Amino acid sequence: LAAQFKQARPFPHLVFEDFLNLTPDELACVYPAPDWPHWNKRQDFYQSGKMYCRDTDVIPSLLSSMFYELSSPPFLRFLEVITGIEGIIPDPYYEGGGLHCSGPEGVLMPHTDFHYYDRLKLYRRLNLLLYLNPVWEEGFGGCLELWEKAAQRPAKLVVPKWGTCVIFRTDDQSVHGFSTPIEQGHWRRSLALYYYSSREAARFSGDGFTYWQQHGRQSGMNRLRVRLYQLLTRAARRLSHIAHRANPNKEPL
Counting other chains too, the contacts that 148-156 makes at CB distance below 8 Å and 24 or more residues apart are: 148/10, 148/175, 149/173, 149/175, 149/213, 151/10, 154/110, 155/9, 155/10, 156/9, 156/10
Peptide bond into 110 cis (omega under 30): no
Q: Is 93 exposed, middle or buried (0-12, 13-18, 19+ CB in 10 A)?
A: middle
Q: What is the pTM of this model?
A: 0.89
**pLDDT, tens digit, 9 for 90 and up, residues 57-88:** 999 999 999 999 999 999 999 999 999 999 99
The answer to whether the CB of 125 falls within 8 A of the CB of 195 is yes
Res 136: pLDDT = 97
Residue 40 makes CB contacts below 8 A (sequence gap 6+) with 51, 52, 53
Instruction: Give the residue from 138, 72, 121, 66 showing the smallest Cα distance to 97.
Output: 66
Res 217: pLDDT = 64
Pairwise CA distance, residues 25 & 42, whole Å: 28
Residue ranges, the chain, pLDDT below 50 = none
Res 228: pLDDT = 73
The answer to whether the CB of 173 falls within 8 A of the CB of 11 is yes
CATH architecture of 2-246: Sandwich (2.60)
Res 246: pLDDT = 66
Q: Are strands 156-158 and 144-147 parallel, antiparallel or unpaired?
A: antiparallel
Residue 235 makes CB contacts below 8 A (sequence gap 6+) with none
Res 140: pLDDT = 98
Q: Is 67 helix (H, G, I), strand (E, B) or coil?
A: helix
Q: Are strands 156-158 and 211-212 parallel, antiparallel or unpaired?
A: unpaired
Q: Is 250 helix (H, G, I), strand (E, B) or coil?
A: coil
Instruction: Tally the residues of the chain.
Output: 253
Q: Is 125 helix (H, G, I), strand (E, B) or coil?
A: strand
